[in-house]
Amino acid sequence: MTHINRRNFLAAGVAASVVALPGCASLPSLSLTEAVRRLLTLSSQNAFAELMQPNGFFDSQIARISVPERLGGTRVTNIATALLRSKPIQKRLLKQVNRAAEKGAELAAPIIADTIRGMSIADAAAIIKGGERAATDLLQSQLGTSLATQMLPGVSKGLNLFDNEIINLVLSQVSDINFADISGDVTDKVSDAIYRSIGAQEAKIRANPEATNDPLLIGVFGFT
């Protein structure tokens, strides 16, 4: 008897149930809900695996955090702000805000994992048939601003790690810098970057569910 790979057999079984019915919406709602949760779980795991590498944000084309306007904005009023806007300082600041982003991501990962496990999914079929980041959009809408709020301490701690004496000296001479505002600005950017990264991973899975080796994801998203 020809040996049949168990994983492929399971995938074929799920796929058959999709083909046999008029659209994936005919699958049991529990299966569709589980598919959305698995999609989000895998997308977020893949995203955080990249972002939490050393220089994960800095090296990412979609998640790199820009230097806040307040740290070298458009107006140069004195020699301190002129120095703050110089290329060497801006490069150092860019590295620093992206290091701070990693601190925020460390706090965000378990929050997102818990949210996915407990999130309500009113219309899983619509999410499955939606756009390439429909599940990520649902996750973002359910978390609202709470993710940024809970990441703020980590980002603030990261921004306090300025370890360059020149930067510290310059910052001490710029009187109109509000570090609370800067922390909030960076945290909002980190939140947006995390959702962009999760959305990009979701799009990859939707485009090639077979790469996940997950029978349910293959069966559902392979036929949407």
Q: For the residues of 111-131, what is the DSSP string, one character each?
A: HHHHHHHH---S-HHHHHTS-
Judge whether residue 223 has pLDDT over 70. Answer: no
pTM reported for the whole predicted model: 0.81
Length in residues, the chain = 224
Q: State the pLDDT at residue 21.
A: 30
Residue type, 162: F
Q: How confident is the model at residue 12 (pLDDT cuts 50, 70, 90)?
A: very low
Rounded to an integer, what distance in angstroms lies between the CA atom of residue 202 and that of residue 197? 9
Judge whether residue 15 has pLDDT over 80. Answer: no
The larger pLDDT score, comparing residue 164 to residue 207, is at: 207
Q: State the pLDDT at residue 76.
A: 44
Q: State the pLDDT at residue 160.
A: 75
Tens-place pLDDT, residues 156-172: 988 875 555 656 666 66
C-alpha angle with apex 7: 12 to 208, nearest 5 degrees?
70
The larger pLDDT score, comparing residue 176 to residue 107, is at: 107
B/e letters for 182-206, b = 16+ CB within 10 Å, e = fewer, are bbbbbbbbbbebbbbbbbbbbebbb
Rounded to an integer, what distance in angstroms lies between the CA atom of residue 116 and that of residue 103? 21
Helices H / strands E in the chain, number of each: 10, 0
The larger pLDDT score, comparing residue 100 to residue 28, is at: 100
Question: How many Cβ atoms are within 10 Å of 29's Cβ, its own excluded?
Answer: 12
Q: Are 91 and 66 in contact (CB under 8 A)?
A: no
